[in-house]
Structure 1
Amino acid sequence: MDEQITALPARALGTFREVTVFLQVAPWSGNPFVRERPDCPIRTRTFGEKGGGMVTYLIVEYRRLVEIINVVWCV
């Protein structure tokens, strides 16, 4: 996953950092990975210009932890 973050273009790094802070503060406000399961702890959140990036993450509630699973940049 570190390779995915390293591969982000310079213009995406600032907004990616903002998303990581957001995940620490309000992780449940992301979109459920499986729409049919709104309580699913795997969530997604877009970031960047025109929503060109997406981060997929897992919320481990009992450990108060958010684990980033995947980072994609499409623009």
Structure 2
Amino acid sequence: MYTVGKSKQADEQITALPVEALAAFHEVTVFLQVAPWSGNPFVRERPDAPMRTQTFGDGGSGMVTCLIIEYRRLVEIIHVAWYG
């Protein structure tokens, strides 16, 4: 299991999420605790890189960008976007 942390910038972005996005965001953070490598690579040409993206919400209305620090079993959320 991984620990999920958030940058200060991500905290501000999470605070700005609309109410309808909060449950989906919570689900994606739980998912990141158990399977962070299942997200898409941030840079398609580097599929093994530790920077990943994961969509959330209805139809993928939101996206989390995170950095996986494997030796610490840590997933650091660095950016959260909501397009819904």
Question: Structure 2-normalised TM-score?
Answer: 0.88
Once the two structures are superposed, residues 21-61 of structure 1 have per-residue CA deviations (whole angstroms, 9 ceiling, x without a partner) of 00000000000000010001000000001111000000000
Q: Of the candidates 16, 33, 39, which is equivalent to residue 42 of structure 2?
A: 33
Runs of 4+ in 1 over 3 A off after TM superposition: none
SS in 2 for 1:35: coil
Provide the C-alpha distance between the structure 1 equivalents of 2:58 and 2:22, rounded to a whole number of angstroms. 11
Size of the alignment, in residue pairs?
Answer: 75
> Which residues of structure 2 form unaligned runs of 5+?
1-9
> Which residues of structure 1 form unaligned runs of 5+?
none
SS in 2 for 1:34: coil
RMSD: 0.5
